[in-house]
Structure formats: C-alpha cells, structure tokens
Amino acid sequence: NWSLNNFIDEKINEIKNEIKDKKAIIALSGGVDSSVATVLVHKAIGKNLKAVFVNHGLLRLNEENEVKKIFKDLIGINLNIVDSKKRFLNRLKNIYDPEQKRKIIGEEFIRVFEDDAKGHYDYLVQGTIYSDIIESAASGKNTAKIKSHHNVGGLPENINLKIIEPLKFLFKDEVRKIGEILGIPKHILYRHPFPGPGLAIRIIGEITEEKLNILRRADQIFIETLKEYNWYNKVWQAFTVLTSIKTVGVVGDERNYDYVLAIRSVDSVEGMTANWSKIPFDILEKVSNRITNEIKGVGRVVYDITSKPPATIEWE
Ligand code: XMP
C-alpha cells in the first residue's frame, strides 16, 4: 500500500528529527494502538524508546509472556515489564464498587508508570487515534457519565514530558494496516478490545486471586473455542464474567454450590451500541461443557442475551 508506506516513512523521519538523540517512553498495553505506536517510534529511535508494560494482575492468561515474546524477543523493543500485581490487588481488597475499582486502577497505574518514567525522558509517546479525539470531544454530553472510562495508559496529568502522538489522525483500520507493514503479528492487530481495568470489571464485587484464576481460564476456553469454530473474527468483543453468585448443582451423587459464570459476546462497530451475538448453540454448548468440566468452582454457565442499550457491554 503506497500511501501507508509513505506515511510510515514520513512519520519515522519526522519523529527522528524531533526526538533526535533524546529519550522517549511509552506505556505498552499490548492493545492495537499502543503496539503500533511502540513499533513505529522504535523504528525511528531504536533503544532510545523505552516501552513500559505494567502487569497489574488483572490481565488475561499468558498476556505478559505474549507481549514479552513479540515486542522484546521478536521485534527487539527496549521493554520493561513491571510486576505490580501485589500493589494493585492490595488496593482492590474490599472494593465492590465498579467506579471505585476504575479510579483505584487508574491512579495506581499512573503511579507505577511515573516511578518507571523517573529519570531521563523527554518525550511521552501515546497511541491516541482519531476516534479517541472525537470520542473525548463528544463524551462531555452523556457517555462519559455512564462509566468513567479511565483509559489506562493515559496521560499522567502533571508529568513533565513532551507528547508525541504519531497515530492521531488515523482510523483503526489504517492503524492495523500500518501494524501489518511494520511486522506486528495479525493476532495482535485483530484482537478484540480489552478494557484498561482488565478483569477487575469482569468480576462482580470483590476481586480475589481465586476468582481471577477462574476467570482467566474461562476466558481462555471461550476465546479458544470461538477461534476453533471461526467465530472469533465474526464478533466484535467476547469475554466471560464471574458473577460471584453461587448456585446449587449436582455432580455424581454430590450436591455442590459453585459460581455462576456468564459468557458475553457482542456485535458492534465502535462499542457505543451493540447487539448480542447469535453464536450457534452447539458452540455455546461446547464452551459450557468445557468450562464446567475443566474449571473447579464453576457450577453453571449462562449466556448474556442483552444488547446495548439498555445493558452496557461490560457488566460493571
Ligand atoms: P461498555 O461496557 O461501556 O463498553 O458498553 C464499551 C467498550 O469500552 C470498553 N470499556 C472500557 N475500556 N476502560 C477502558 O479502557 C474502561 O473502564 C472500560 N469500560 C468499558 C469495553 O470493553 C467495550 O469495548
């Protein structure tokens, strides 16, 4: 693609000319936008870009390893993985309220990032894309009040760095194509959106290590099964929710009392509205069987058949 190749060359030159031999930092989440921004700026300034990946303990199964494998080992990014699991989980103890979870995670994220950014950085790179600008301009009216979308990885308010946003005027599909040209694997570029607060807003009520482990495995089974049946790319976003409610079941002659797990999948364009996905029953059945057979602690699986509105996509 001529014009995108051109864009990449021009951007790399522009970034080189601006940053020169100074240092830049970026919060890499492993999502599409921060991944593409990281690799693009890396092409321009190499090791003078440091990418920081914060593991807040609310990530999906193998997420940290995957990011390390691709960005550090394969592409050669100067990547710092910060293990902050304990720090986040401690602060989230006894927190039930969704908005409070978001607030704590947002605050804590900025602190961890600032700790790491201390030192000799002049520039902060951000993966802002065109729709982010439009959305934040529109959000004063209604959407932001429904949920405070802490875009984790967002700008620490009083950080003293110059901002570089190389993807600012691009649409998502252009960002993906640029990512392909830059050699980022497709499964990173075409993955479903994942919220900054991660699994914290997919566990209703209090977050515990035990619940996180259950949810990570359930999510993995659901996503793996969708891929197996070629449904992953047909839906906009799919995930599981741990309801924290227990119900009665029976295994052999034994009565048990275990969690209800919900599976959620939606079709959408930008997430502002969404329809629940009409996934074939045999796929849902397979997911339910695998989850109840393989995960101790889950006794019942339900499928969320609510569209947005009136429900939001996430449960919290
Ligand atoms: P809702 O639940 O508001 O979700 O219908 C719409 C889209 O936004 C994502 N989402 C978030 N993303 N921080 C984020 O970075 C958040 O706090 C947050 N809450 C929801 C959600 O996954 C969906 O893609």
Is 34 assigned a ligand-binding role in the annotation?
A: yes
Report how far Cα 70 is from the mean position of its chain's Cα atoms.
16
Residues with a CB atom less than 6 Å from ligand 1: 102, 147, 149-152, 193, 195-197, 237, 271, 308, 312-314
Query: Is 29 labelled as part of a ligand binding site?
Result: yes
* Residue 108: count of CB within 10 angstroms of its CB: 19
106 labelled as ligand-binding? no
Q: Whose CA is nearest to atom 9 of ligand 1?
A: 195
Options 3.40.50.300, 1.10.3720.10, 3.40.50.620, 3.30.365.10; CATH of 2-189: 3.40.50.620
- How much of the chain, in percent, has pLDDT values that exceed 90? 86
Burial 213-223 (b: 16+ CB within 10 A, else e): ebbbbbbbbbb
For ligand 1, atom 22: residue with the closest CA: 195
Pairwise CA distance, residues 259 & 237, whole Å: 23
| Cα 177 → chain centroid | 20
Binding residue per annotation — 52?
A: no
Atom of ligand 1 nearest to the CA of 147: 3
> What are the domain boundaries of the chain?
2-189, 203-303
Nearest to 265 by CA among 209, 227, 214: 227
pLDDT at 119 > cutoff 90: no
Q: Residue 78 is which amino acid?
A: N
Which are the contacts of 58, defined by CB distance < 8 A and separation ≥ 6?
88, 105, 197, 198, 199, 200, 207, 212
Between the alpha carbon of residue 57 and those of residues 49, 77, 180, 218, 270, the distances in Å are: 25, 22, 29, 16, 27
Strands 24-27 and 123-125: parallel
Which residues make beta-bridge pairs with 302? 262
Residue percentage of the chain with pLDDT more than 70: 93
Span from the CA of 246 to the centroid of ligand 1 (angstroms): 26
Range 300-306 average pLDDT:
98
> Relative to the CA of 268, which ligand 1 atom is closest?
24
pLDDT greater than 70 at residue 54: yes
Note the pTM of the prediction, 2 decimals: 0.92
Q: List the 49-55 sheet strands across, edge first.
A: 78-83, 49-55, 24-27, 123-125, 162-164
Quickly count: other Cβ atoms within 10 Å of residue 249's Cβ: 15
Q: Mind listing the pLDDT tens digit for each residue in 61-77?
A: 999 999 999 999 999 99
Counting every residue written for the chain, the total comes to 316
Confidence (pLDDT) at 143: 45
Instruction: Label residue 9 exposed, middle or buried (CB < 10 Å: 0-12, 13-18, 19+).
Output: exposed
Ligand 1: distance of its center to the CA of 78 in Å? 29
Q: Is 136 annotated as a binding residue?
A: no
Band of residue 148 on the pLDDT scale cut at 50, 70, 90:
low
153: left (phi over 0), alpha (psi -120 to 50) or beta: left
Which pLDDT score, from 0 to 100, does residue 145 have?
42
Residue 57 pLDDT > 80, yes or no?
Answer: yes
**For residue 224, what are the contacts with CB-CB under 8 A and spacing of at least 6?**
none
Domain 203-303 has CATH 2.60.120.560: no
pLDDT in tens, 7-53: 999 999 999 999 999 999 999 999 999 999 999 999 999 999 999 99
Summarize pLDDT for 158-207 with one digit per residue, the tens.
Answer: 667 899 999 999 999 999 999 999 999 999 999 999 999 999 999 999 99
Tell whether the model's pLDDT for residue 154 goes beyond 80: no
283-286: which pairs have CB atoms within 8 A and are 24 or more residues apart?
A: 283/225, 283/226, 283/229, 283/231, 286/225
Q: How far is CA 212 from CA 77, 87, 125, 219, in A?
A: 29, 15, 31, 10
Could you tell me whether strands 237-251 and 254-267 are parallel, antiparallel, or unpaired per DSSP bridges? Answer: antiparallel
